[in-house]
Amino acid sequence: MLAEEIKNYNVHQLRELAGSLRAEMVEAVRENGGHLSSNLGAVELILALYKAFDFPRDKLLFDVGHQAYAHKLLTGRSLHDLRKPGGVSGFPDPSESEYDAFIAGHSGNSIAAGLGYCAARDIRGETYKVVCCIGDASLANGTALEAIFGSESKPKNFVVVLNDNGMAIDKNDSALYRSLSKATARRRYRKFNAFLDRRFRTTSPFGRRLRRFKYMVKGWLNKNYFFERCGFKYVGPVDGHDLSELVGVLTEISKIDEPVLLHAVTVKGKGLAEAEGDPTRYHGVGKNFAPSDHSFSTALSRLLCARAAEDGSLVALTAAMADGVGLAEFSEKFPTRFFDAGICEGAAVTMAAGMAMGGLKPVVCVYSTFLQRAYDQIVHDVCLQNLPVVFCIDRAGLVGADGKTHQGLLDLSALRSVPNLRIFAPKDCAELADIFDYVRETGGPAAIRYPNGYCPNLGVRQKISDYYLWETMSEGDGLVVLACGARAVARALEAKRISGLKNAQIVNCRSVYPLDCRLLDYFSRRKILTFEEGYESGGFGAAVAEYFAENGKAVRIRIVGAPRIFVPHASAQQQAQLCGLTAQDLARKMQQFDAQE
Amino acid sequence: MLAEEIKNYNVHQLRELAGSLRAEMVEAVRENGGHLSSNLGAVELILALYKAFDFPRDKLLFDVGHQAYAHKLLTGRSLHDLRKPGGVSGFPDPSESEYDAFIAGHSGNSIAAGLGYCAARDIRGETYKVVCCIGDASLANGTALEAIFGSESKPKNFVVVLNDNGMAIDKNDSALYRSLSKATARRRYRKFNAFLDRRFRTTSPFGRRLRRFKYMVKGWLNKNYFFERCGFKYVGPVDGHDLSELVGVLTEISKIDEPVLLHAVTVKGKGLAEAEGDPTRYHGVGKNFAPSDHSFSTALSRLLCARAAEDGSLVALTAAMADGVGLAEFSEKFPTRFFDAGICEGAAVTMAAGMAMGGLKPVVCVYSTFLQRAYDQIVHDVCLQNLPVVFCIDRAGLVGADGKTHQGLLDLSALRSVPNLRIFAPKDCAELADIFDYVRETGGPAAIRYPNGYCPNLGVRQKISDYYLWETMSEGDGLVVLACGARAVARALEAKRISGLKNAQIVNCRSVYPLDCRLLDYFSRRKILTFEEGYESGGFGAAVAEYFAENGKAVRIRIVGAPRIFVPHASAQQQAQLCGLTAQDLARKMQQFDAQE
């Protein structure tokens, strides 16, 4: 395996390998889509880490996870089927390889997890080293900061490599980053660095000792009090693409047992001119580097720009996913009313609550999977105070290639019980606008969830209102299909055709809370099948079952949703097959239920 | 109102007022129980804030909330019925007073909320000042750190008062705190401070200008790079009990528009000798300063000490609530296997995940309400990797006097859908041990939830096992009552007696996930009433309803749980009445359901 072979490579060979790894990555992403810019930036860092440390005996934790493709290639994994069923995941995953020491889909976890590893090692009397490779954007996340500041003494044999590319997923405006960039730019550093490099570029044993001294001197010159106070010996900044320097310094670090933070400066998108020029555009891409199609995000973008033009109190917040959720245009048109908190979902939501207290009408736009990180802030800061904050939850339901760390299957079960929060799921992009206007007119906190990718426009029958919370999409006096969300409604209509159940009634249940009790009472003597792209437990179907159970009514309900598993990477359609949620699956379940005694 | 009158008070009068406010607080807490140490420590700070700023036009946000009693007294609220139904809440709450600018039950939210207020103010062209009064323990929380580091430029007219009492709820070992205490201890500060004080203790206009200069000099001498880099002008440290100094410096601060962080050093428990001597013991107390009775926490303490003695891989973690959850003894007996993360629930859970990856068997002990803050870490770091982490969830259900910010009513609905996580609710303390042993034998992540306060020992009929997931507590062939959790089972047994329904069957449903499907199938032709102390939606009752809905079976189910509201402060028993969850309520509902057609 390359991971072992490169122990014997010299710097020249490593440089060649870096080139071929990059070529392989670019090819794989062109073929399958994936994360490009960050992965390209971390190649030399990863090579030097493998040269200096002894993985998997030593533990390597990535954070963010989308910088690890080179690590996957070194450890015998092909990117050929990247993010496809049975192929490798886009993120480190211990169930995929013993070289992946920890899961890394959500940012900010590596330092706390690494500290946990160290504690376990010391209690069990083991001796391995723990290395966290963390991006500067992840470092700004609350869990990362909690762990860094957690104790002034850090465990021995604990190394944090800060992959500082000067950007979060998007740009990075945080105080932390500014502090880092000041260290890098400091003149005395640059001058002295050049001097030291001239003096100590040697490979003799004496030279090696001198080089150790060089990094001590550099570290002392550039003393970063921030990290020193947190118990780390600060080393750097080093050029994160200079293999000679990286191998040298990491080899030195691997020999000492003090906790070290190595500050490496890298270029996002390194080695691919297009990506270096526009790393945000190439952060995550589809096949042939095409930007992914996100019709709901695009619709949200248009909607927010239009409403913001009419209403000066509308502000939009996100957490390092402005492009993904459709806020790029808004941020340009209304820069003073746009707020990107970085990978800080908790602070973004609490800030929105403060804005609402101050008289604004904030819209928080995040992916379903990342909103999980602000659950308490939604409960305690927004809903308890009953504030008019609207959550636009993108990537709800099955998310496709990003796989199990990124699924949006939990939002309904997590949010449905939170007092004061109303929850909606539009059937198409046009209805997103209707619902958005409706919740803003009627006040209070609300969540609107929708999937990514293309969704057909299904047409309006009854615009949402207090009276018409739900709408019937296809009439019938037999089986009632209560479909919740865009994909569910479209598939339910198709399933009616496939199943031949002409008397099935298809209802667009766009309001998850409150339910349309008038319609539910009306349906209570018929068979009711609920259908959603979310976990079967605790979601929309559960809400319907609960409604009838409040009064002890015996109603024949069948809940259809995703099984309680972490759904792995594949296309969203393949994932729907895996979960039994395609139109064909639904048609079969409708037929079964209809025929049931 | 005092808040306005004290504008005309001189320092001598303020000092007298501080004394009487303290006396009033101590009396109120002796009468009603409450938080004592932190509230005693913040009296002078609050008086000086009211003297210098113009609340409620200016906005005052507390964080932690349990330092605000003096603020309540100043703003016309009596502590006579503190934490009793209809009386004032133990925490700031905008629905109680316009002087409470933000909710403050969970720590760490003030800076993000304050930034939100500032953004709203600036966008709306208003001019008030925003003041966050934050305890050092809260500052270590991820949301607070995210907000502090969020941007290198902070808004104008934004003041953060750091109430540095050198302790979290318990002791404080964080790097942040050490950095603060170093600043305080610095000798040149102390010497120069005394010099400046001698020189500039004057009240002439010239003297005031000199005093402004004095704080500039002090700030410069003690330059705290940490806060300066985050965009704050750092002022301090000042003695947080010296009213003359506090009023002076805060008045100066109120006149400048730069963002300022004022570092005030206070003594937790100030003014009550017992509390100063043992602030942790007097942090939160019951009537007559009695330590509250927590039988489950005590049982957990015994249990963990016993198991840890047998198993060297057992480690325990908490987040600044070691005493509350029953880890005090454990921390003394097994100091190397005990970890208190501070108010950092997220980092604690991720660290536990890292420990589990490293071969340990971590037990995370936190209150239900605070576990909400680690929801994503539970999903992404623990359950996705299927790690053997046991969550001991204390204060689940109705919590009594701490009120709506602290209710433990959401854990079941939030956790029940998370793949791989098993969930249990013991009926009494003895069963806590049985379940704990059972989940550790059978592996994987698990949550065990239980309430605080006394619970009777109900005796064992069938020890928990894969076969006997649930146990029948009282036989009968009529109505089935599925009771989940200690209070529910005890009340269900009582309700059977009260209702006279001798053929009701009472079942202890100690496993919420998985359900006891064997028993459920067996009951499917009878009326089933579910009973739990958690929200009616998404919890145990919903799980039972879903089970039958998976197969489209028409079963007569009635779910009894808490309504979807934030339940205000009162005794836990009064809260049960409010929610319709007493034994009498249950008996009536059983009779109704039994008689229903």
Chain segment A263-319, per-residue pLDDT in tens? 899 998 998 888 888 887 888 887 877 766 678 999 999 999 999 999 999 999 999
Give the mean model confidence (pLDDT) for residues B46-56.
97
Q: Sign of the CA dihedral B360, A109, A396, A352?
A: positive
Of A8, A30, A25, A21, the residue nearest A74 (C-alpha): A21
Stretch(es) of chain B classified as CATH 3.40.50.970: 2-186+222-279, 295-449
Using an 8 Å CB-CB cutoff, list chain B residues near A334: none
Q: Which two tokens stand for residue A486?
A: 């865009």
Domain ranges in chain A with CATH number 3.40.50.970? 2-185+229-287, 295-449
Least confidently predicted of A431-445, B155-169, B459-473: B155-169
pTM of the model: 0.92
pLDDT for B241: 95
In whole angstroms, give the CA distance from residue B173 to residue B175.
7
Yes or no: say if A528 and A482 are a contact pair by the CB < 8 Å rule: yes
Residue of chain A minimizing CA distance to B355: A116
Region B470-474 average pLDDT = 97
From the list A345, A431, A471, A532, the catalytic residue is A345
Sheet holding B130-135, edge to edge: B59-63, B130-135, B158-164, B260-265, B233-239
Distances (CA, A) of B323 to A443, B374, B407: 41, 20, 19
Per-residue pLDDT of B272-285, as tens digits, reads 888 888 887 888 88
Interface test with A, best of B524, B537, B559 (most A CBs within 10 A): B537
Give yes or no for a contact between B299 and B340, defined as CB atoms under 8 angstroms apart: no
CA dihedral sign, ordered B405, B406, B412, B416: positive
Q: Which long-range contacts (CB under 8 A, 24 or more apart) does B186-191 make?
A: B186/B222, B188/B221, B189/B218, B189/B221, B189/B222, B189/B237
Q: Does B510 score more than 70 pLDDT?
A: yes
Chain A residues within an 8 Å CB radius of B405: 380, 384
pLDDT in tens, A171-218: 444 555 555 555 544 444 455 555 555 555 544 555 555 555 555 555
pLDDT digit string (tens) for A65-76? 899 999 999 999
Which residues of B does the annotation mark as catalytic? 268, 345, 373
ipTM above 0.90, yes or no: yes
Per the annotation, the verdict on A373 as an active-site residue is yes
Band the pLDDT of A119: cuts 50, 70, 90.
Answer: very high
Q: How would you class A241 by CB atoms within 10 Å of its CB: exposed for 0-12, middle for 13-18, buried for 19 or more?
A: buried
Q: What is the pLDDT of residue B169?
A: 36
Closest Cα to residue A539, out of A578, A509, A574, A569? Answer: A509
- Quote the pLDDT of residue A396: 97
Residues of B in contact with A341 (CB under 8 A): 146, 150
Q: Which of A175, A355, A359 lies nearest to residue B230, judging by beta carbons?
A: A175
Q: Is B295-449 CATH 3.30.750.24?
A: no
Q: Which of A112, A373, A552 sits opposite B351 (nearest CB)?
A: A112
- Report the pLDDT averaged over residues B336-348: 95
Residue B494 is predicted with a pLDDT of 98
State yes or no: pLDDT of A134 exceeds 60.
Answer: yes
Q: How far is CA B29 from CA B33, B35, B79, in A?
A: 4, 7, 8
Residue with tokens 């899961």: A103
Q: What is the CATH number of domain B2-186+222-279?
A: 3.40.50.970
What integer pLDDT is reported at residue A554 of this predicted model?
Answer: 83
Mean pLDDT throughout B371-381?
98
B175-185 vs A142-149: helix crossing angle, rounded to 10: 50
Task: Look at residue A231 in the predicted model and tell me its pLDDT.
Answer: 87
User: Measured between alpha carbons, how far is A33 from B397 in angstroms, rounded to an integer?
Assistant: 46
Q: Would you call B125 exposed, middle or buried from its count of C-beta atoms within 10 A (0-12, 13-18, 19+)?
A: exposed
Q: Which residues of B237-264 are buried (b: 16+ CB within 10 A; e: fewer)?
A: bbbbbbbbbbbbbbbbbbeeeebbbbbb
Chosen from B98, B131, B149 to mutate, greatest number of chain A CBs within 10 A:
B149
Asked whether the beta carbons of A383 and A445 are under 8 A apart, the reply is: yes
B174 contacts in chain A (CB < 8 Å): 149-152
One-character DSSP codes across A46-89: HHHHHHHS-TTTSEEEEESGGG-HHHHHHTT--STTTTSTTS--
* DSSP per-residue codes, B348-364: HHHHHHHHHHTT-EEEE
Q: Which residue out of A126, A128, A380, A579 would a mutagenesis test of the B interface target, given it has the greatest number of B Cβ atoms within 10 Å?
A: A380
- Cβ-in-10-Å burial (0-12, 13-18, 19+) of A525 comes to exposed
- Is the Cβ pair A120, B404 closer than 8 Å? no
Higher pLDDT, B140 or B177: B140
Mean pLDDT estimate for chain B = 90
CATH 3.40.50.300 for domain A2-185+229-287, yes or no, is: no
Band (pLDDT 50/70/90 cuts) for residue B546 is very high
Q: Which amino acid is at A552?
A: G
Q: Domain B471-595: which topology?
A: Rossmann fold (3.40.50)
Q: What is the 3-state secondary structure (H, E, C) of A87-112?
A: CCCCCCCCCCCCCCCCCCCCCCCHHH
Backbone torsions φ then ψ of A458, nearest 5 degrees = -100, -5
Under an 8 A CB cutoff, do B380 and A538 touch?
Answer: no
Higher pLDDT, B234 or A292: B234
- Residues constituting chain A: 597
Q: Is residue B554 very low, low, confident or very high in pLDDT (cuts 50, 70, 90)?
A: confident
Backbone angles phi, psi at A318, to 5 degrees: -150, 180
pLDDT at A222: 52
Greater confidence, B390 or B223? B390
Cβ neighbours of residue B585 closer than 8 Å, sequence gap 6 or more: B576, B577
Task: Please count the residue pairs, one from chain A and one from chain B, whose beta carbons lie less than 8 angstroms apart.
Answer: 398
Q: How high is the pLDDT of residue A187?
A: 46
Q: Render pLDDT for B116-133 as a digit per residue (tens, 0 to 9).
A: 999 999 999 999 999 999
Q: Where in chain A is the domain with CATH 3.40.50.920?
A: 471-595
- Predicted confidence (pLDDT) per residue in B184-204, tens digit: 444 444 555 555 555 555 445
Instruction: Report DSSP state, residue A326.
Output: T
Contact A566 B178 (CB under 8 A): no
Whether A569 and A514 have beta carbons less than 8 Å apart is answered as: no
- Please tell me the distance in Å from A168's CA to the nearest CA on chain B: 12
Which of A143, A380, A536 faces B405 most closely, judged by CB atoms? A380
pLDDT digit string (tens) for B74-102?
A: 999 999 999 999 999 999 999 999 999 99
Q: Do A119 and B355 touch (CB under 8 A)?
A: yes
The predicted structure's pLDDT at residue B176: 57
Asked if the model's pLDDT at residue B217 lies above 70, the reply is no
Distances (CA, A) of B530 to A11, A535, B498, B554, B556: 68, 22, 18, 16, 11
- Best mean pLDDT range from A254-258, B378-382, B441-445: B378-382
Query: Could you give the C-alpha distances from B399 to A89, B294, B326, B369, in angstroms and in order?
Result: 43, 11, 16, 10
Position B184 scores a pLDDT of 47
Q: Which two tokens stand for residue A52?
A: 């200096």
Higher pLDDT among residues A29 and A209, named by residue: A29
- Tell me what pLDDT residue A275 has: 85
The single-letter DSSP state of residue B438 is: H
Asked if residue B219 has pLDDT above 70, the reply is no
Question: Is the per-residue pLDDT at A417 higher than 50?
Answer: yes
For the record, the structure tokens of A111 come out as 């330092």
Computed over every residue of chain A, the mean pLDDT equals 90
The mean pLDDT value for A30-40 works out to: 90
A413/B413 touch (CB, cutoff 8 Å), yes or no: yes
Check: CB of residue B366 under 8 Å from CB of residue B345: yes
A282 to A21, A22, A269, B232: CA distances (angstroms): 18, 14, 8, 35
Q: Name the band, by pLDDT with cuts 50, 70 and 90, for residue B172.
A: very low
3-class SS of residue A235: strand
pLDDT tens readout for residues A460-513: 889 999 999 999 999 999 999 999 999 999 999 999 999 999 999 999 999 999
Q: Which of A429-433, B552-556, B574-578 has the lowest mean pLDDT?
A: B552-556
As a whole number of Å, the end-to-end CA separation of chain B is 59
Question: What is the widest separation between alpha-carbon atoms in chain B?
Answer: 89
Give the residue ranges of DSSP H helices in A334-464.
Answer: 345-357, 368-371, 375-377, 411-415, 429-442
pLDDT at position B367 is 97
CA atoms within 13 A on the CB side of A53: 32
Distance, in Å, from the CA atom of A319 to the CA atom of A164, rounded to the nearest integer, reads 19
Q: In sequence order, what are the beta bridge partners of B558?
A: B529
Which residues in chain B are contacts of A178 at CB distance < 8 A?
Answer: 152, 229
* Assigned token pair, A530: 């609920």
pLDDT of residue B173: 47
Residue A223 has pLDDT above 80, yes or no: no
Please give the pLDDT value at position B2: 92
At A227 the three-state DSSP class reads helix
CA of A57: how far to CAs of A5, A49, A67, A398, B360, in Å? Answer: 16, 13, 21, 35, 17
For position A277, what pLDDT does the model report? 85
* Distance (Å) from the alpha carbon of A467 to chain B's nearest alpha carbon: 22
Q: Do B385 and A416 touch (CB under 8 A)?
A: no
Residue B11, helix vs strand vs coil: helix
The residues that bridge with B461 in the sheet, in sequence order, are: none
- From the list B106, B336, B537, the residue facing A380 with the nearest CB is B106
DSSP for A517-547, please give it.
Answer: HHHHHHHTTS-EEEEEEEESSSSHHHHHHHH
